[in-house]
A and B are shown apart, each in its own frame.
Chain A
């Protein structure tokens, strides 16, 4: 069965520091992987996605993520965090043959001045 794990429930970083949010997945075939961001009281916005090809994908707002098949991971990174990046971040996997879309439990990011 497909599953997504985000080990970090909450992360606090200083503005200007680098960021890495972890995501591990369990899936029997090549997964389709996504990162979403959710600001308070809002829906989810797509940051980036991985289907195939280059394992380092670039997204919006300066985010990037790297797919590592050997580690079943798809970690999200940003070199320098801005205060406006404070939000909830969700990793998701789309099943190749199914219709469902599986989300991790989310990581809450706090940015301190």
Chain B
């Protein structure tokens, strides 16, 4: 069954640590996205990708970086975590075309202490 997976689901980490949030999809989608969402709040697009070796920053400025070396994999990295990075991070993917829906992972809840 096609799906999109995020790991870890929950992460508590100390300030200054480097972390990578994993996102993988088995649907062969070209477009992938990272959203940041504070509790009960809207989704803010922080990164997106059209395909392999293509990455763009989203509407919300973020200190994170992403890479897209393989179609199925779109990891997000924070070089030095800070308490302000505490949030939920949602990964999504879509097929090409404006009419296609986005499929979401279950999210990673990050807490930086």
B31 CB–A CB distance under 8 Å: yes
Stretch from B11-19, B42-50, B65-73, B77-85 contacting the other chain: B42-50
- Interface mask (B18-42 → A, CB under 8 Å = 1, otherwise 0): 0000000000000101010000111
Query: Chain A CB within 10 Å — which of B35, B42, B48, B101 has the most?
Result: B101
What is the number of contacts between chain A and chain B, taking CB atoms within 8 Å?
A: 63
Contact yes or no, A34 B101, CB < 8 A: yes
Q: Which residue of A has the minimal Cβ distance to B107?
A: A43
Give the number of residues in A that approach B within 8 Å (Cβ atoms).
Answer: 27
Contact yes or no, A103 B42, CB < 8 A: yes
- How far, in angstroms, from A21 to B109 measured CA to CA in the complex? 27
**Interchain nearest-CB distance for B77 vs A (Å):** 20
Interface residues, chain A, with chain B CB atoms under 8 Å away: 32, 34, 36, 41-46, 49, 51, 88, 90, 92, 94-101, 103-106, 108
Interface residues, chain B, with chain A CB atoms under 8 Å away: 6, 31, 33, 35, 40-43, 45, 48, 50, 58, 90, 92, 94, 98-107, 109
